[in-house]
Structure 1
Amino acid sequence: MPILDRPLRNSKFTLDSSGVAGFFGGEEAISAMATVHLFKGRQWLGWYNSPGSYTIAKRFGQLAASRFWDGLFPGPNETPEISFGLDGRPGPKYIASLSGTEMQTGHLGYLTMEKAKEVKGLMQIEGRETAPSNVALLELKDVKYDDKVPQRDLGNALVALIPVLISFAACIMCAIVADWFSCSMILLGIVSNGVACLVIGSGELSLDTVKKPAPGAPPGDGMLIGDDTVIVVRGAEKDVNAITKGKFVLTIGGGPTYDRIGLCSLLLLVQFMLQLLLIPQGSLFGQIMFLGTLGVSWVYNSYLSSLEKERIQAKVLFKKLGKPDMRKFRLGTRTTMTVFACLLVCDGMESPYGGIDPEKILRNFIPNNTQVWRRWRTKVIQQMKEEKSSPTSLIHLEVDQDDRSHLEGGDIQLLTTLLNDAKFAFVGYHKHFVSP
C-alpha cells in the first residue's frame, strides 16, 4: 500500500517520456561531463538523473579500446585529452627570437592566444589607423612541472546540488506513492550518471612538455603570431616550452584499454534500454517526476556548457604557469605593430640585440621586397641601434636626400608615411618601457 494516494491516478492521459530520455540534452550532457576535470570536487557531484544517457555512452564508450568495446561502441579510439576537449586545437605559429626556429604550436598555444584576447587594461599606442592589431607581452616565471594542474574552485560546480536534490526528492516521492517503475528508473539514472562522473573524473590533469632543454640553450624568447594579435613571450627555454611544445595530459586509471569507462558506458546504455521499456509502465505522476528531473538536469548541463570550456582551460593553464603578467597594446597599422613587436623582442638585449636579427623579425611580418620597403627596414634597424644610445632621437626615421634621389614622388610619400608609423612605435615603446 502506498503511503499517499497517487496523484492523477484517475487520469486517462498517458505521458510517454521514455523515447526522449536517452537522446534529449545529449550534447549538453557531453559538454558538462567534459568539465569534470576542471573543477575541484566536480566528480563527486554527478548524482542526478541526467538526460542523454545514450549519447554519453556512445561518445565516451569509444575511449575503451578492445575488440569487445570497439564492437559495442564503434568509432575512433581517441585519447582522453581529445575526447574531453583538452587537446586538438591548432595554435598560432611560434618564431624563436634567437634561433629563428619556426614551429606550429598546439592546444596550449591556442589557449594562450585566447587568453590574450581577454586581457583588460588595453594600452593604446598613438598613430594613424588602417588595420588595428594588438601586441601582448607575456613574461613567464619559473614553471613547476612536478605536480598536477590546479583545478578551478568548486563554486560553479556546487550548483549541481540543485539537480541532485531534485532527483532524490523525485525518487522518494515516487516511492511514497508506490510507483516503483518510475522510482527505480530515476534511481538508476542517479547511480549511472554518478558512477560515470566518479570514474571519469578520477583522472589527473598534468602539463607535459620538454622539461629539460639542452645544456647551454639560449632563452626561449619569441613570438606567437595570430591573425590580429602578436604575443611576445619572454622566459627561460623550459618555461616557454610549456606553451610552444606543451600539452595537457589526462591520466585515467585502467589505460590503455579503459575498461572501467567501458563499463560505465555500458551501464548508461542499459539505463537507456530499461527506461525505454519501464517508464511507460509507470503512473502519470511518476512520469512527470521523471521528466521533471531530466528538465532540471538539462538546465544544469546547459549552464556548465555555457561556461566556455576553453576559457576555463586558459585560466587553469595560466594558474599552472604561475599567473604570469601579460600587458597588451593596441596599434593602428600593421607597420606600427611590426616595429613595436620587434622593439619588444630586442628589449633588454645587449648590443647588438643579443644575437637577434631585427631584419628577419621585420620580414616575418612584412616580407615585401620593393625598394621602398627595403629602405624602410634599413632605416628602422639604424634607428634601433641609435635607440641604445639616444632613445629620444628619431633622426634615422626621416626621408633623406639619398631617398629622394632614388625614389619617385609617390614612393617618397609612401616611405614618409611608413616612417611616421615607425615613429609612433618608437615613441610608444619609449613611453612604456624606457622612460622612468
Structure 2
Amino acid sequence: MPVIPTDHIPLRDSSLNLDISGVAGFFGGDVAVSAMGTVSLYEGRKWFGWYNSPGSYEIAKRYGRLAQHRLWSGLYPGVTDNPAVLFELDGKVGPRYRAVHSGTSMDQTGHLAYLLCQECKDRTKQDWDGEEGARKTFPIDVSIVYLHRVPPKELSPRDRQVHVTNRLSFLPILTSAAACLICAFVADWFCCSMIGFGMFCSGVSCWVIGSGEFKFTHPEPAAGAPVGDGYLMDNEQVVILRGAEGAVNPITRGRFSLQYDSHPRYHNIGWSSVLLTIQFLLQLLVVPQGTIFGQVMFLASLAASWLYNSFLSSLDKEIIQRRILVNDILAKPALHKYRLGTRTAMAVFVMLVLSSSESMDRRSLRKLLDDLLPNDTDAWCRWKYTVVKEIALRSKDREPNFQLRESTAREADEKLLKNLYGDAQSAYEAFKAYTIEEERRKQQFVRDGQSDMHGHSTDELDEKVRADEDANEKPERDMDPSPTLGYTSDPAAERTGDSLRPESAGGWSSASTYETRVGGLDCNWHGTCNPTEANWHGSCY
C-alpha cells in the first residue's frame, strides 16, 4: 500500500514510457568523469558523493583500468596509467632547465616546472623606464622567482578553498534523497530502489577513488651543493629560479603523486568499478518497470547531479594545482616579471640578474651567454666579449658601458652591432628597475620582521639582517680580469675559447633571505651525478 493516495498522482494513467537508455546517453559520462577527477584535490571531497550520479559506466571504464589483474583488464581494457597521470596530476612536460653554478642541465623538466611557467605567464609584467623606446623584434617575458622555502622531502597538500564545492554537494544529495522518498511514498519501489542504489554506488566509488593520498615529493640535494640559481626557458618566456638547491629542486625534480593503500593491485578500485557497472545495467532494466511519475523523479535526481558535476568539471584542475604549488609548497614566493623587446636583451638581462647574487667569472658568464644565444659569427663574438667583460667588471661604482666603440667591422656588421649594443643597454635599464624593486622587497621584509612566515626561523631573519649590514660595509670586490682571471683581450680568441682560461675563480656575495652565501666556487663543479635520474644531462666529473 502506498503511503499517500495515488489517485491524483500526475501522469498516473499516461501510457508514456521514457526511453531510459536514451536518457542515459543524453546525460553521458564525460562530465561525471571530469568531476570525479577533482576528488583527490579538494579537502573532504570524497565524503560528499552520495547522490544518484549519471555516467556510472563511463567512470567505471576510466578508473577501472587502474586495477591490476586479468579480470579487471578484461572488464576494463586500455592502457594502465599511473594514478597521478590518470587524474591529470602529472604528465605535463616542462621547459629545459640549466643551473648556472652546479652545471646541471635538463633538456626537459616535469609537471611542476610546467605549472610554475603557466603561473608566471598569467602574472602581470612590471613597467620599466625605456621599455617603450626599446627595439622590439620578438618580445619575450622574463620572470624572477625567489624560492625562499626549502619544503620537506614529502608533503600532503590539499586545496583548502573547498567550502563552496562541499556546500553545493548538498543540492544533488538532498534532491536524490527527496526523489527516493517521494517514490517510496507512492509505492514505486522500482524507481525508489534504483535511486537509492545509485546514491550508494556513487558514494562508495567517490570514497574509494578519493581515498588516495595526494602527495608532493622531491629528492634532497647533495650535501655541500652550491646555490641553486638557474633558469627555465622555452620559446615564450624565461623563468629565473633563485634560491638554495633544496628550494629549486622541487621545481626541477619534484612531482605530484597519488598513493593508495591498495597499491599496486588497486583491487578496491576494481570492485568499485564493478559496482558502478552493475548500477548502470540495473537502471537500464529496472527503471522502465516503474511508473512514469517515478521515472520523472529518477530523471530529476540525475539532472541535479549532472548540474553539480558540470560545476565541478568547470573548475580548472591545473589552476588548483598551481594554487597548491605556489601557496602550500613554495609558500608564496616573490615574483618579478619584465618584458624585453628582443632575445638579445633577454639574454643580457638574465646574465645581469643571475650574476647579481653570486659572483661569476668570465668563463661562466660566457658559457651562460652562449647557452642563451648560440650565435657565433665574428660580429656576435665581438659583442659577446664586450658584454661578458662589462658584466664581470660591474660594481656599485661602475656601470656597464654597452656602447659600440670605434670599429673596423664591415658596414653590415656595424649596423648589427649597434642594434645589439642598444639591446644590451635596454636590458640594463630593465635590470636597474629590477634592483629597485628587489631592494624595496628586502627592506619591506626586514621592516615587517615576519620571521615565521614562509617557513623562516628567527635565526634566519637575524642572519639576513647581518648579511645586509655586511653588504653595506664591505665594498664590492674589484673584478679586474688581468691579474685575477688572466684573460686575453683578443675578440678572435674569444670565439675559439682560448681566452677562457681563468687562473682562479671564487668570490663572495651579499646573502639575503632568499640567497645562500657560497664562496670560492669551482667553475668546473657539475653537481651530483645520478645516472638513474630521468632527464639528467649534467656532466659527471
Q: Same fold (TM over 0.5)?
A: yes
Residues 1:85 and 2:88 are matched in the alignment: yes
The match for 1:408 among 407, 410, 420 is: 410
State how 1:310-329 maps to structure 2 within 5 Å: 310-318=318-326, 319-329=328-338
1:214 corresponding residue in structure 2: 222
**Residue 398 of structure 1 is aligned with which of 398, 403, 409?**
403
* 2:145 aligned residue: 138
2:178 — aligned with what? 169
CA distance in 2 between counterparts of 1:307 and 1:98 reads 40
Q: Whole-Å Cα distance in 2 between the matches of residues 320 and 214 of structure 1?
A: 20
1:364-405 deviation line (CA, Å, top 9, x unaligned) = 2221111221122112112212322535x342x11112xx21
Aligned length: 428
Contact 1:22 1:51 in 2 (8 A): no
* Distance in 2 separating the partners of 1:58 and 1:23: 18
Cα distance, 1:151 vs structure 2:
2.7
Match of 2:449 in 1: none
Cα drift, residue 65 of structure 1: 0.4
What does 1:66-215 correspond to in 2, within 5 Å?
66-103=69-106, 104-120=108-124, 122-124=126-128, 126=131, 127-140=134-147, 141-158=149-166, 159-211=168-220, 213-215=221-223
Look up the match of 1:64.
67
Structure 2 unaligned regions, length at least 5: 440-541
- Preserved contact between residue 159 and residue 320 of structure 2 (Cα < 8 Å): no
Deviates more, 1:152-161 or 1:229-238: 152-161
Deviates more, 1:118-127 or 1:165-174: 118-127
Report the alpha carbon displacement of residue 219 of structure 1 after superposing the two structures with TM: 1.7
For 1:114, give the aligned amino acid.
Q
Distance 1:423 1:297 in 2: 60
Looking at structure 2, the residues matched to 298 and 289 of structure 1 have their Cα atoms a distance apart, in angstroms, of 14
* Amino acid across the alignment from 1:111: L
Cα distance in 2 for partners of 1:176, 1:348 equals: 75
- Aligned 8 A contact 1:138 1:231 in 2: yes
- Over residues 40-70 of structure 1, what are the superposed CA-to-partner deviations in whole Å (9 max), with x where a residue is unaligned? 1111111111111111001100111012211
Instruction: Give me the whole-angstrom Cα distance separating, in 2, the residues matched to 1:230 and 1:4.
Output: 72
Q: Counterpart of 2:204 in structure 1: which amino acid?
A: V
Match of 1:259 among 257, 261, 267: 267
Partners of 2:396 and 2:161 lie apart in 1 by 50
CA distance in 2, matches of 1:305, 1:341: 39
Larger Rg: 1 or 2? 2
- Is the contact between residue 221 and residue 232 of structure 1 (CA under 8 Å) also seen in structure 2? yes
Q: Residue 27 of structure 2 aligns to a residue in which SS?
A: coil
State the SS of the aligned residue for 2:336. strand
Mapped to 1, the partners of 2:155 and 2:89 lie a distance apart of 18
Residue 12 to residue 64, structure 1, CA distance change in 2 (3 Å): same
Whether the 8 Å contact between 1:106 and 1:244 is mirrored in structure 2 is yes
Quote the residue 1:344 is aligned against.
353
1:95–1:101 CA contact under 8 A, matched in 2: yes
* Match status 1:373 vs 2:380: yes
Say whether the 8 Å CA contact 2:49–2:206 is kept in structure 1.
yes
Corresponding position: 1:50 with 2:53: yes
Question: What residue identity is the alignment partner of 1:431?
Answer: A
Aligned equivalents of 1:333, 1:161: Cα separation in 2: 54
* Conservation of the 8 A alpha-carbon contact between 1:18 and 1:280: no
Q: What amino acid maps onto 1:84 in structure 2? A: F
**Of 63-72 and 124-133, the range deviating more from structure 2:** 124-133
Aligned partner of 1:236 in structure 2 is 244
Give the direction of change, closer, same or farther, for the CA distance of 1:132–1:182 in structure 2 (3 Å limit): same
* Residue equivalent to 2:425: 423
Aligned-residue sequence identity (percent) comes to: 45
Partners in 2 of 1:146 and 1:54 — Cα distance?
Answer: 35
- Contact 1:22–1:53 under 8 Å retained in 2: no
Conservation of the 8 A alpha-carbon contact between 2:154 and 2:216 = no
Aligned partners of 2:293 and 2:99: how far apart in 1? 66
The structure showing larger relative contact order (alpha-carbon pairs under 8 Å, at least 6 residues apart) is 1
What amino acid is aligned across from residue 283 of structure 2 in structure 1?
Answer: Q
Return the match for 2:366 from 359, 367, 376. Answer: 359
| Deviation per residue, 1:18-53 (Å, 9 max, x gap) | 344267331211111111111111111111111111
Q: Partner letter of residue 398 of structure 1?
A: Q
CA offsets 1:174-202 (integer angstroms, 9 cap, x no match): 11222111111111111111111111112
Q: Secondary structure in 2 aligned to 1:88?
A: coil
Query: d(CA) in 2 for partners of 1:22 and 1:261?
Result: 24
Residue 351 of structure 1 and its aligned partner are, at CA, apart by 5.3
Counterpart CA distance in 2 for 1:91 and 1:38 is 21
Letter in 2 for 1:208: T
Between the aligned partners of 1:121 and 1:338, the Cα distance in structure 2 is 18
Amino acid corresponding to residue 426 of structure 1 in structure 2? Y
Deviation at 1:295, TM superposition (A): 2.0
**TM-score, normalisation: structure 1:** 0.93
Amino acid at match of 1:420: G
Q: Counterparts of 1:245 and 1:164 in 2: how far apart (Å)? A: 41
Distance 1:420 1:176 in 2: 82
CA RMSD across the alignment:
1.9
The corresponding residue for 2:231 is: 223
SS at match of 1:388: coil
For residues 69 and 256 of structure 1, the distance between their equivalents in structure 2, rounded to whole angstroms, comes to 13
Gaps of 5+ in 1: none
